[in-house]
Amino acid sequence: MRNSLCLALLLILSAIAFAAPEPQPAPLVIHELGKGSVELGGPWQFHLGDDPAFAAAALDDRTGQNGWEELKSDQSWGSQTHPGYIGVAWYRKHLHVSPATGLKPEFSLLLHDIDDAYELYWNGVLVGRNGKMPPHGKHYYDQPAQTFNLGEMHDGVLALRVWKQALSSFDSDQLGGFNATPVLGSPEVIAATKAEIDYEWLRGRQYHFAITTLYALVMVLSFLSWLRDRSQRVLLWMAVFCFGPVAAIFLYGLRLPFSWDFSVGWGQPVLALQDIGLWFLLLWLLELDENRWLTRITRGIAVVNLISASLDGSMSLLDWSNPAITAAVQLADAIFTAITTIAEFWPLVLLAYAARKRLDPARWAVAISAFLMEMILVVRVAATQGVRFTHWTLGQRINLPLFTVLGNAFTAATLAQTALLFSIIYAVYRNAREEHQRRTEMEQELKSASELQQVLIPESLPSISGYAVTSAYRPAQEVGGDFFQIISIERDGRNSSLIILGDVSGKGLRAAMSVSFIVGTARTLAERHSSPAEILSGINRGLQGRLRGGFATCLVVRLDGDGRCVLSNAGHCAPFLNEHEIQLPGVLPLGVVADARYEEHAIQLRTGDHLVLYTDGLLEARTNAGELFSFERLTRLMARHPNAEQALAEAQTFGQQDDITVLTVTRLAAGAESSTQFIAPPLAKLRAIA
Amino acid sequence: MQAATKVTQRTATAASGATVTVLSFCGDISSASKDTVLGAYRSLENASRVLLDFTSVEYINSSGIAIIIQMLLDADKAGTHTIGIFGLSPHFQKVFTMVGISKYAALHPDENSSLAAL
């Protein structure tokens, strides 16, 4: 305040002293400079166009002469007398400087917020520049204040050659040149002034930096989580959506020395990616992906949007200052931007479709806040398109701060971004909790089922006199419904063996419990019955109403010591005798019809005869391409008289889908030693599978 | 991943001149198909001649077979429909025969032979 008062007094005195008419415009008189700084306010001389002579100290730049006029130093030329002017223009200011006594006469100039690039001259000598002048002009997207050391100075003329790039679709016509008054002072004071300006900028961005860092974290975590489970597409699209603000802060928000062309050019596809991320995020969050038509259209619009944005961005590679192409480039920019702007309203359609759905509140919270965040941005960008023609202020008003905290402006967009972050955190927390609950329940069920299965799978099998038996069992991923038992029975002094083999439809604990019931019933019936058909009938009656719409196929075989073999079947795959399938009539499986009747078939096994029993896991092994093992391949396999392990291995290699059980029985010559081989994964491994 | 089951309904004319309702299934049939399959059956109402078309069915697991058995038993109990089946691959024709389905619905290789039989 004191400095200003002194200056004012000095100015008045000087004005009186220099009352005589001057050929040059009145210089700004600065006395005792050194104790502070002074804004080089007041009118500056201004001239459109470019001429190197405009830098010279001795030039006649009186107002009204040779095209020179006066402009205010703190407003753009676009908002004063030259709206929409692009190209080069010159500013000049005459200075009469007396440094404060005792101080070295070295001074610095602080320039900030000048559109777009400039060169600084002191008395005709180039002192410094920011950006690059045409041809091939280049300027930076966002620059901190620049300081220039002017060295020793007393009197002279400051000249600035300023270049404004051709206007893009969102540029207002009120741009160009100065937006803030230059400041002159001692190097220390100017440095301090710059530090203060920079500090205010940084302070006002803290919240934005913090939020963007959290978005970067969400992006990385989502992407990594998606890599672990590719079916969770929501996570991928969340990562893509979060990429937008993170990339944007690098391009626009950190004052990195990227050229305007680079920042805006890359900003177009980045914004498109953010749009696309939102659309697919909404599609998956709101369970709209089941609607094929909607998904296809979204994909189509996404492709169009990305291509359009990329083309729009790539146009910044062109030299807009080349007058031959400026109009064409601006038209192309307008068209591409129109395409992307229209596409950006697609989320409204998605939300309309989803409005009727009943989804949990966490999903809606994420969907709505993502939608709001995006649409505020979209509407703001859309409203500024062609603003130099429409003069709409909506775009500016949307961006006005609603309130400020510690210098950080909170706009509607900031609030939406914050809301989104919180809703994501909430949704993830809820999802993790539900997932954990589900997993615990599932693990519990699997544990119970596998414990049950371990009880049911025989640890060893009894040998059958006169026969060599091999058996192999391999469960599929989940606990399945295969079962088999070999029970030795004695009737009327004769020893026989009952082989019971079957498959309960379905998987998991329920199937395992059904198996447990069947095995228990079969063993109990075997104590009193040796007829396979009666055993089947007994199990069938017991299963009525227990299988809840499912069924159990079952084959019961009685092997007598003299080679007689009696079979009874309920819907199970017929066994093979040597290379031929035993012809058995089709019968409904167990548990379907209460009064089902089962037939018995007797065959005589001779020495060397090879009987193979199996479950449908063998038959329905499938390759990744969907080709089934099928009966033909099975017939060819059986012709080779495989043992159980060989048969199972072949199916496993082909592509196991379900539990596989194979049992082979070979009639031995009289006197030969019977053997039983049982291959199954060890119980510990069964636990691991569960 | 299993393809979800879809059903479409159309009519055809049997060799005898009678109207036949054809239920065409598409995709895999598994436990997830219960509502689709049984829902389609219930929509038949009083159609006396029904053909089940499995031409576009790639795979039926044991749960899927259980659903079809249930449907055929319901039809048998109601006594209002005569059901024929066609379009099964040779593998599944054998599987259907094995589980006794052929006692409740005639199995045919294609639509023409099934229409001729009705």
Question: Domains of chain B, with CATH numbers?
Answer: 6-117 (3.30.750.24)
Gap between the Cα atoms of A566 and A263, Å rounded: 84
The Cβ of residue A436 has, within 10 Å, a number of other Cβ atoms equal to: 10
Number of domains in chain A: 3
Q: What is the CATH number of the domain that holds A28?
A: 2.60.120.260
Residue-wise pLDDT for A407-464, tens only, equals 888 988 889 889 988 887 788 778 778 878 888 888 888 777 777 766 667 767 788 8
Average pLDDT over residues A296-317: 91
Of A200, A217, A238, which residue sits at a domain end? A200
Of A144, A177, A200, which residue sits at a domain end? A200
Of B66, B90, B95, the CB nearest to A551: B66
Of A200, A223, A239, which residue sits at a domain end? A200
Chain B hits for A511, Cβ within 8 Å: none
Q: Helices A292-314 and A323-343 sit at what angle, rounded to 10 degrees?
A: 160
Q: Which domain holds residue A469?
A: 457-689
Question: CB contact, 8 Å: B70 with chain A?
Answer: yes
Angle A208-A214-A215 from CA coordinates, rounded to 5°: 85
Average pLDDT over residues A537-554: 90
Whether residue A11 lies inside any domain: the answer is no
Residue type, B76: D
Q: What pLDDT is stored for residue A19 in this prediction?
A: 58
If asked whether residues A218 and A102 sit together in one domain, one would say no
Q: In chain B, whose CA is at the least distance from the CA of A615?
A: B62
The Cβ of residue A655 has, within 10 Å, a number of other Cβ atoms equal to: 16
Whether residue A438 lies inside any domain: the answer is no
Chain B hits for A481, Cβ within 8 Å: 62
pTM for the full predicted model: 0.58
If asked whether residues A425 and A462 sit together in one domain, one would say no
Gap between the Cα atoms of A235 and A476, Å rounded: 30
Quote the minimal CA–CA distance from B46 to chain A in Å: 24
If asked whether residues A193 and A246 sit together in one domain, one would say no
Whether residue A1 lies inside any domain: the answer is no
Question: CB contact, 8 Å: B4 with chain A?
Answer: no
Residue-wise pLDDT for A192-208, tens only, equals 999 999 999 999 999 99
Whether residue A18 lies inside any domain: the answer is no
Instruction: Check pLDDT > 80 for residue A6.
Output: no
If asked whether residues A426 and A556 sit together in one domain, one would say no
Quote the minimal CA–CA distance from A596 to chain B in Å: 11
Two tokens, residue A466: 């006169």
If asked whether residues A487 and A384 sit together in one domain, one would say no
If asked whether residues A250 and A294 sit together in one domain, one would say yes
Average pLDDT over residues B87-112: 90
Whether residue A29 lies inside any domain: the answer is yes
Two tokens, residue A647: 């048969």
If asked whether residues A142 and A239 sit together in one domain, one would say no
ipTM surpasses cut 0.85: yes
User: Chain A interface, mutation test: which of B99, B102, B104, B107, most A Cβ atoms within 10 Å?
Assistant: B99
Residue given tokens 């806040």 in the structure block: A369
If asked whether residues A590 and A498 sit together in one domain, one would say yes
If asked whether residues A117 and A252 sit together in one domain, one would say no
If asked whether residues A149 and A240 sit together in one domain, one would say no
Q: What pLDDT is stored for residue A33 in this prediction?
A: 67
If asked whether residues A677 and A535 sit together in one domain, one would say yes
Q: What is the CATH number of the domain that holds A305?
A: 1.20.1070
If asked whether residues A488 and A523 sit together in one domain, one would say yes
Instruction: Check pLDDT > 60 for residue A1.
Output: no
Whether residue A256 lies inside any domain: the answer is yes
Asked whether A536 and A556 are in contact (CB, 8 A), the reply is: yes
- A385 versus A46: the higher-pLDDT residue is A46
Instruction: Tell me which of A232-246, A281-295, A564-578 is least confident.
Output: A281-295
Burial class (CB in 10 A: 0-12, 13-18, 19+), A8: exposed
Whether residue A496 lies inside any domain: the answer is yes
Instruction: Check pLDDT > 90 for residue A659.
Output: no
3-state SS, residue A690: coil
Asked whether A507 and A449 are in contact (CB, 8 A), the reply is: no
Whether residue A244 lies inside any domain: the answer is yes
